[in-house]
Amino acid sequence: MEAVEGNGGGSGLVVTELSHIKELVKQLDVHLGGSPGLCKHLAQQIFAVTEKSIGIIRSGHFNCPKRSAAGAGLDSPPLSATPSPVSGVSNTPFKPNKKRKTSEKGRHQIRVSSAGGGADAPADDGHSWRKYGQKDILGAHHPRAYYRCTYQKTQGCAATKQVQRADEDPALFDVIYHGEHTCLHKTAAAMVQPDGQNQDAQSLLQNLSSSLTVKTEGLIAAGTQGWSTTTPFSFSSPAVSGMTPPEHHPFSAPSTPENCFVSMPTSLEPSPATSGSNHMCFNPFQAQSELQTMVSALVEATSMPPADTEEAGFAYWSFDDSALDVNSFDEDVTNFDISAFLASDV
Protein backbone atom coordinates (compact mmCIF):
# COMPACT_ATOMS: atom_id res chain seq x y z
CA MET A 1 0.00 0.00 0.00
CA GLU A 2 1.00 3.51 -0.26
CA ALA A 3 3.10 3.96 2.71
CA VAL A 4 4.08 7.46 3.28
CA GLU A 5 7.65 7.69 2.37
CA GLY A 6 10.10 9.06 4.71
CA ASN A 7 10.30 9.03 8.33
CA GLY A 8 8.82 12.05 9.75
CA GLY A 9 5.40 10.89 8.78
CA GLY A 10 5.25 8.12 11.27
CA SER A 11 1.82 8.75 12.62
CA GLY A 12 0.54 9.77 9.26
CA LEU A 13 1.72 6.56 7.87
CA VAL A 14 0.04 4.60 10.55
CA VAL A 15 -3.16 6.45 9.91
CA THR A 16 -2.88 5.68 6.27
CA GLU A 17 -2.17 2.10 7.01
CA LEU A 18 -4.96 1.70 9.42
CA SER A 19 -7.33 3.49 7.13
CA HIS A 20 -6.53 0.96 4.53
CA ILE A 21 -7.19 -1.78 6.98
CA LYS A 22 -10.49 -0.21 7.65
CA GLU A 23 -11.34 -0.25 4.01
CA LEU A 24 -10.38 -3.85 3.68
CA VAL A 25 -12.45 -4.81 6.62
CA LYS A 26 -15.36 -3.03 5.11
CA GLN A 27 -15.00 -5.09 2.00
CA LEU A 28 -14.60 -8.16 4.06
CA ASP A 29 -17.76 -7.40 5.88
CA VAL A 30 -19.60 -7.25 2.62
CA HIS A 31 -18.08 -10.46 1.37
CA LEU A 32 -18.94 -12.33 4.45
CA GLY A 33 -22.57 -12.15 3.69
CA GLY A 34 -23.20 -15.82 3.83
CA SER A 35 -20.41 -16.84 6.13
CA PRO A 36 -20.40 -17.84 9.73
CA GLY A 37 -21.49 -15.07 12.00
CA LEU A 38 -18.31 -15.24 13.90
CA CYS A 39 -16.29 -14.05 11.00
CA LYS A 40 -18.53 -11.12 10.59
CA HIS A 41 -18.37 -10.38 14.22
CA LEU A 42 -14.63 -10.46 14.21
CA ALA A 43 -14.48 -8.28 11.18
CA GLN A 44 -16.61 -5.77 12.98
CA GLN A 45 -14.37 -5.95 15.97
CA ILE A 46 -11.32 -5.35 13.88
CA PHE A 47 -13.03 -2.48 12.26
CA ALA A 48 -13.86 -0.96 15.61
CA VAL A 49 -10.36 -1.41 16.88
CA THR A 50 -8.92 0.09 13.79
CA GLU A 51 -11.08 3.13 14.18
CA LYS A 52 -10.03 3.38 17.75
CA SER A 53 -6.40 3.20 16.81
CA ILE A 54 -6.79 5.94 14.31
CA GLY A 55 -8.57 8.00 16.90
CA ILE A 56 -5.77 7.54 19.32
CA ILE A 57 -3.21 8.60 16.81
CA ARG A 58 -5.16 11.62 15.83
CA SER A 59 -5.72 12.59 19.39
CA GLY A 60 -2.06 12.96 19.85
CA HIS A 61 -1.11 9.86 21.77
CA PHE A 62 1.08 8.72 19.06
CA ASN A 63 4.44 9.21 20.55
CA CYS A 64 6.46 7.10 22.76
CA PRO A 65 8.72 9.23 24.83
CA LYS A 66 11.76 7.14 24.91
CA ARG A 67 13.20 3.96 23.92
CA SER A 68 15.98 1.72 24.77
CA ALA A 69 18.64 1.82 22.21
CA ALA A 70 18.79 -1.89 22.34
CA GLY A 71 16.75 -1.88 19.24
CA ALA A 72 19.73 -2.36 17.08
CA GLY A 73 18.59 -5.87 16.72
CA LEU A 74 16.41 -5.45 13.77
CA ASP A 75 18.61 -2.85 12.45
CA SER A 76 16.36 -0.50 14.08
CA PRO A 77 17.44 2.68 12.57
CA PRO A 78 17.97 5.85 14.35
CA LEU A 79 14.85 7.66 15.06
CA SER A 80 16.03 10.74 13.53
CA ALA A 81 15.86 11.10 10.04
CA THR A 82 16.08 8.44 7.64
CA PRO A 83 14.15 5.45 6.78
CA SER A 84 16.01 2.68 5.24
CA PRO A 85 17.37 0.12 7.44
CA VAL A 86 18.69 -2.58 5.39
CA SER A 87 21.24 -4.68 6.84
CA GLY A 88 21.53 -5.07 10.22
CA VAL A 89 24.27 -4.18 12.42
CA SER A 90 24.73 -0.61 12.12
CA ASN A 91 24.21 1.86 14.83
CA THR A 92 25.17 4.60 12.56
CA PRO A 93 22.58 6.62 10.80
CA PHE A 94 21.39 5.19 7.56
CA LYS A 95 20.96 7.27 4.55
CA PRO A 96 17.70 6.83 2.84
CA ASN A 97 19.58 5.98 -0.23
CA LYS A 98 19.77 2.47 -1.35
CA LYS A 99 20.29 1.16 -4.73
CA ARG A 100 17.21 0.40 -6.70
CA LYS A 101 15.01 2.97 -5.15
CA THR A 102 12.16 1.70 -7.19
CA SER A 103 11.12 -0.72 -4.57
CA GLU A 104 11.30 1.51 -1.58
CA LYS A 105 7.61 1.87 -1.78
CA GLY A 106 5.60 -0.73 -0.09
CA ARG A 107 8.39 -1.97 1.95
CA HIS A 108 7.69 -3.98 5.07
CA GLN A 109 10.17 -5.36 7.46
CA ILE A 110 9.54 -7.88 10.10
CA ARG A 111 11.53 -10.23 12.20
CA VAL A 112 10.43 -13.77 12.20
CA SER A 113 11.42 -16.81 14.08
CA SER A 114 12.74 -19.85 12.35
CA ALA A 115 10.28 -21.89 14.30
CA GLY A 116 8.13 -23.87 11.97
CA GLY A 117 10.19 -22.89 9.02
CA GLY A 118 13.12 -25.15 9.39
CA ALA A 119 16.60 -24.30 10.42
CA ASP A 120 17.50 -22.39 7.34
CA ALA A 121 14.37 -20.49 6.72
CA PRO A 122 11.85 -18.54 8.64
CA ALA A 123 8.38 -19.84 9.08
CA ASP A 124 6.22 -19.90 6.04
CA ASP A 125 4.42 -16.65 5.55
CA GLY A 126 1.66 -18.09 3.48
CA HIS A 127 2.97 -17.01 0.15
CA SER A 128 4.83 -19.03 -2.37
CA TRP A 129 8.33 -17.73 -2.98
CA ARG A 130 11.02 -18.60 -5.41
CA LYS A 131 14.59 -17.88 -4.51
CA TYR A 132 16.47 -16.02 -7.17
CA GLY A 133 19.63 -14.94 -5.49
CA GLN A 134 21.78 -14.84 -2.47
CA LYS A 135 24.42 -12.42 -1.48
CA ASP A 136 26.92 -11.89 1.23
CA ILE A 137 26.26 -8.57 2.79
CA LEU A 138 29.03 -6.43 4.02
CA GLY A 139 29.13 -6.40 7.78
CA ALA A 140 26.57 -9.11 8.14
CA HIS A 141 27.45 -12.54 9.38
CA HIS A 142 24.92 -14.27 7.24
CA PRO A 143 24.09 -13.97 3.57
CA ARG A 144 20.92 -12.38 2.38
CA ALA A 145 18.57 -14.43 0.28
CA TYR A 146 16.37 -12.91 -2.37
CA TYR A 147 12.96 -14.28 -3.17
CA ARG A 148 10.29 -13.32 -5.59
CA CYS A 149 6.75 -14.48 -5.82
CA THR A 150 6.40 -17.79 -7.57
CA TYR A 151 3.61 -16.28 -9.59
CA GLN A 152 5.63 -13.38 -10.88
CA LYS A 153 5.66 -14.71 -14.38
CA THR A 154 2.28 -16.29 -14.54
CA GLN A 155 0.39 -13.53 -12.79
CA GLY A 156 2.79 -10.68 -12.86
CA CYS A 157 3.00 -10.55 -9.11
CA ALA A 158 5.77 -8.16 -8.23
CA ALA A 159 6.18 -9.08 -4.59
CA THR A 160 9.69 -9.86 -3.47
CA LYS A 161 11.29 -10.41 -0.16
CA GLN A 162 14.74 -10.52 1.33
CA VAL A 163 15.57 -12.87 4.12
CA GLN A 164 18.58 -12.52 6.29
CA ARG A 165 19.44 -14.31 9.45
CA ALA A 166 19.89 -11.98 12.35
CA ASP A 167 23.45 -11.58 13.43
CA GLU A 168 22.74 -11.59 17.09
CA ASP A 169 20.32 -14.46 17.05
CA PRO A 170 20.56 -17.05 14.32
CA ALA A 171 17.15 -18.31 15.24
CA LEU A 172 15.64 -15.11 13.99
CA PHE A 173 15.33 -13.81 10.49
CA ASP A 174 14.89 -10.33 9.26
CA VAL A 175 12.49 -10.35 6.38
CA ILE A 176 12.00 -7.37 4.15
CA TYR A 177 9.05 -7.44 1.82
CA HIS A 178 8.93 -5.32 -1.26
CA GLY A 179 5.78 -4.71 -3.15
CA GLU A 180 2.48 -6.34 -2.65
CA HIS A 181 1.11 -9.60 -3.84
CA THR A 182 -1.15 -9.18 -6.78
CA CYS A 183 -1.27 -12.84 -7.44
CA LEU A 184 -4.42 -14.75 -6.77
CA HIS A 185 -2.84 -17.95 -5.76
CA LYS A 186 -4.66 -20.06 -3.27
CA THR A 187 -3.15 -20.23 0.12
CA ALA A 188 -2.61 -23.53 1.75
CA ALA A 189 -5.39 -22.86 4.16
CA ALA A 190 -7.73 -22.11 1.36
CA MET A 191 -6.77 -25.23 -0.43
CA VAL A 192 -7.49 -27.47 2.47
CA GLN A 193 -10.79 -25.90 2.96
CA PRO A 194 -13.35 -28.61 2.64
CA ASP A 195 -15.98 -27.00 0.57
CA GLY A 196 -14.38 -23.94 -0.81
CA GLN A 197 -16.75 -21.80 1.12
CA ASN A 198 -15.51 -18.50 2.37
CA GLN A 199 -12.82 -18.35 -0.21
CA ASP A 200 -13.63 -14.79 -0.96
CA ALA A 201 -13.33 -14.03 2.67
CA GLN A 202 -10.10 -15.95 2.82
CA SER A 203 -8.72 -13.99 -0.02
CA LEU A 204 -9.71 -10.74 1.51
CA LEU A 205 -8.34 -11.75 4.81
CA GLN A 206 -5.08 -12.74 3.30
CA ASN A 207 -4.91 -9.40 1.71
CA LEU A 208 -5.73 -7.76 4.95
CA SER A 209 -3.31 -9.86 6.87
CA SER A 210 -0.65 -8.98 4.40
CA SER A 211 -1.47 -5.35 4.73
CA LEU A 212 -0.98 -5.58 8.39
CA THR A 213 2.56 -6.65 8.12
CA VAL A 214 4.57 -4.69 10.55
CA LYS A 215 6.04 -1.84 8.67
CA THR A 216 9.16 -0.30 10.00
CA GLU A 217 9.94 1.71 6.99
CA GLY A 218 8.92 5.21 7.73
CA LEU A 219 7.64 4.28 11.10
CA ILE A 220 11.05 3.93 12.35
CA ALA A 221 11.24 7.43 13.54
CA ALA A 222 8.32 6.92 15.76
CA GLY A 223 8.24 3.43 16.88
CA THR A 224 11.45 1.59 16.71
CA GLN A 225 11.89 1.51 20.38
CA GLY A 226 9.68 -1.44 20.32
CA TRP A 227 12.35 -3.51 18.76
CA SER A 228 15.01 -4.94 20.78
CA THR A 229 17.68 -7.37 20.05
CA THR A 230 15.87 -9.92 22.01
CA THR A 231 12.42 -9.43 20.71
CA PRO A 232 11.30 -12.67 19.27
CA PHE A 233 8.65 -11.35 17.04
CA SER A 234 7.46 -14.62 15.80
CA PHE A 235 5.14 -14.51 12.97
CA SER A 236 3.89 -16.70 10.28
CA SER A 237 0.80 -16.57 8.32
CA PRO A 238 -2.05 -18.65 9.51
CA ALA A 239 -2.76 -19.26 5.91
CA VAL A 240 -0.57 -22.28 6.03
CA SER A 241 -1.35 -23.16 9.53
CA GLY A 242 -3.61 -25.92 8.57
CA MET A 243 -0.70 -27.74 7.07
CA THR A 244 1.80 -26.92 9.70
CA PRO A 245 2.51 -29.09 12.64
CA PRO A 246 0.84 -27.27 15.46
CA GLU A 247 3.45 -27.96 18.02
CA HIS A 248 5.17 -24.96 19.46
CA HIS A 249 5.01 -23.00 16.38
CA PRO A 250 4.41 -19.51 17.54
CA PHE A 251 1.56 -19.05 15.16
CA SER A 252 0.91 -22.63 14.69
CA ALA A 253 -2.51 -23.44 13.69
CA PRO A 254 -4.89 -24.53 16.24
CA SER A 255 -6.26 -27.62 14.70
CA THR A 256 -9.41 -27.38 16.63
CA PRO A 257 -11.44 -24.54 17.91
CA GLU A 258 -10.55 -25.57 21.39
CA ASN A 259 -7.03 -24.68 20.60
CA CYS A 260 -7.78 -21.24 19.47
CA PHE A 261 -5.84 -18.86 21.52
CA VAL A 262 -4.24 -15.62 20.97
CA SER A 263 -2.15 -13.84 23.45
CA MET A 264 -0.89 -10.44 22.75
CA PRO A 265 0.44 -7.39 24.28
CA THR A 266 -1.84 -4.49 24.49
CA SER A 267 -0.58 -1.48 22.78
CA LEU A 268 -3.51 0.61 23.52
CA GLU A 269 -3.16 0.44 27.19
CA PRO A 270 -0.31 0.68 29.60
CA SER A 271 1.94 -2.24 29.22
CA PRO A 272 1.89 -4.58 32.13
CA ALA A 273 5.57 -4.97 31.69
CA THR A 274 6.07 -1.35 32.42
CA SER A 275 5.21 -1.21 36.00
CA GLY A 276 3.87 1.96 37.32
CA SER A 277 3.63 3.80 34.16
CA ASN A 278 0.07 4.45 33.50
CA HIS A 279 0.00 6.82 30.66
CA MET A 280 -1.08 5.62 27.34
CA CYS A 281 1.42 5.14 24.63
CA PHE A 282 0.43 4.12 21.22
CA ASN A 283 2.93 1.90 19.63
CA PRO A 284 2.13 1.54 15.96
CA PHE A 285 4.09 -1.66 15.68
CA GLN A 286 2.29 -3.15 18.54
CA ALA A 287 -1.07 -2.10 17.30
CA GLN A 288 -0.39 -3.53 13.93
CA SER A 289 0.78 -6.73 15.45
CA GLU A 290 -2.34 -6.97 17.42
CA LEU A 291 -4.46 -6.33 14.44
CA GLN A 292 -2.46 -8.84 12.53
CA THR A 293 -3.06 -11.34 15.23
CA MET A 294 -6.73 -10.69 15.18
CA VAL A 295 -6.86 -11.09 11.48
CA SER A 296 -4.85 -14.23 11.77
CA ALA A 297 -7.40 -15.53 14.15
CA LEU A 298 -10.08 -14.56 11.76
CA VAL A 299 -8.39 -16.28 8.92
CA GLU A 300 -8.04 -19.29 11.10
CA ALA A 301 -11.67 -19.19 11.90
CA THR A 302 -12.68 -19.01 8.30
CA SER A 303 -10.55 -21.98 7.44
CA MET A 304 -12.13 -24.23 9.96
CA PRO A 305 -14.80 -26.62 9.01
CA PRO A 306 -18.12 -24.98 9.68
CA ALA A 307 -19.28 -27.94 11.67
CA ASP A 308 -16.52 -27.54 14.16
CA THR A 309 -16.99 -23.89 14.55
CA GLU A 310 -20.65 -24.38 15.09
CA GLU A 311 -20.16 -27.05 17.63
CA ALA A 312 -17.71 -25.12 19.63
CA GLY A 313 -19.86 -22.08 19.61
CA PHE A 314 -16.75 -20.13 18.88
CA ALA A 315 -16.88 -18.01 21.93
CA TYR A 316 -13.16 -17.79 22.18
CA TRP A 317 -12.66 -14.19 21.57
CA SER A 318 -13.33 -11.45 23.95
CA PHE A 319 -12.62 -7.99 22.89
CA ASP A 320 -12.31 -5.55 25.64
CA ASP A 321 -12.92 -1.98 24.85
CA SER A 322 -9.82 -0.85 26.51
CA ALA A 323 -7.61 -3.70 25.65
CA LEU A 324 -7.25 -5.74 22.56
CA ASP A 325 -7.28 -8.95 24.39
CA VAL A 326 -8.26 -12.09 22.72
CA ASN A 327 -8.56 -14.91 25.10
CA SER A 328 -9.29 -18.51 25.07
CA PHE A 329 -11.41 -20.42 27.48
CA ASP A 330 -9.01 -23.20 27.27
CA GLU A 331 -5.94 -22.90 29.38
CA ASP A 332 -3.95 -25.49 27.68
CA VAL A 333 -3.77 -24.21 24.21
CA THR A 334 -1.44 -23.47 21.47
CA ASN A 335 -0.13 -20.07 22.04
CA PHE A 336 0.00 -17.44 19.40
CA ASP A 337 2.96 -15.72 20.79
CA ILE A 338 3.73 -12.22 19.82
CA SER A 339 6.13 -10.86 22.31
CA ALA A 340 7.86 -8.31 20.27
CA PHE A 341 6.46 -5.36 22.01
CA LEU A 342 5.95 -6.55 25.50
CA ALA A 343 8.87 -4.53 26.61
CA SER A 344 7.63 -1.46 24.94
CA ASP A 345 9.27 1.25 26.81
CA VAL A 346 6.63 3.62 28.01
Residues in touch with DNA (CB under 7 A): 86-87, 95, 97-101, 103, 129-139, 144-146, 148, 150, 160, 162, 178
Minimum separation from the CB atom of position 88 to DNA (A) = 10
With a CB cutoff of 8 Å and minimum separation 6, the contacts of 286 are: 226, 265, 266, 267, 340, 341, 344
Nearest alpha carbon to residue 152 among 183, 187, 186, 184? 183
Minimum separation from the CB atom of position 308 to DNA (A) = 32
Minimum separation from the CB atom of position 132 to DNA (A) = 5
**Element (H or E) spanning 172, and its range?**
strand 172-178
Question: Over 259-298, what HEC string results?
Answer: HCCEECCCCCCCCCCCCCCCCCCCCHHHHHHHHHHHHHHH
- Between 176 and 342, name the residue whose CB sits nearer to DNA: 176
Give bridge partners of residue 108 from the DSSP assignment: 177
Ramachandran assignment for 198, one of left (phi > 0), alpha (psi -120 to 50 degrees), beta (any other): left
Minimum separation from the CB atom of position 295 to DNA (A) = 27
Antiparallel, parallel or unpaired: β 336-337 and 262-263: parallel
Minimum separation from the CB atom of position 174 to DNA (A) = 11
- Between 177 and 227, name the residue whose CB sits nearer to DNA: 177
Contact predicate 293/182, CB 8 Å: no
Antiparallel, parallel or unpaired: β 129-135 and 262-263: unpaired
Minimum separation from the CB atom of position 256 to DNA (A) = 30
Minimum separation from the CB atom of position 240 to DNA (A) = 15
- Between 26 and 135, name the residue whose CB sits nearer to DNA: 135
Minimum separation from the CB atom of position 70 to DNA (A) = 23
- Between 64 and 72, name the residue whose CB sits nearer to DNA: 72
- Between 62 and 94, name the residue whose CB sits nearer to DNA: 94
- Between 41 and 98, name the residue whose CB sits nearer to DNA: 98
What is the rounded distance in angstroms from the CA atom of residue 171 to the CA atom of residue 121? 9
DSSP3 helix / strand / coil % (the chain, rounded to 5): 35, 10, 55
- Between 96 and 270, name the residue whose CB sits nearer to DNA: 96
Contact predicate 158/182, CB 8 Å: yes
Q: How far is CA 89 from CA 10, 73, 165, in A?
A: 23, 7, 12
Nearest alpha carbon to residue 77 among 60, 62, 105, 98? 98
What is the rounded distance in angstroms from the CA atom of residue 50 to the CA atom of residue 298? 15
- Between 117 and 284, name the residue whose CB sits nearer to DNA: 117
Work out the widest C-alpha separation in the chain, in whole angstroms: 56
Minimum separation from the CB atom of position 195 to DNA (A) = 27
- Between 118 and 194, name the residue whose CB sits nearer to DNA: 118
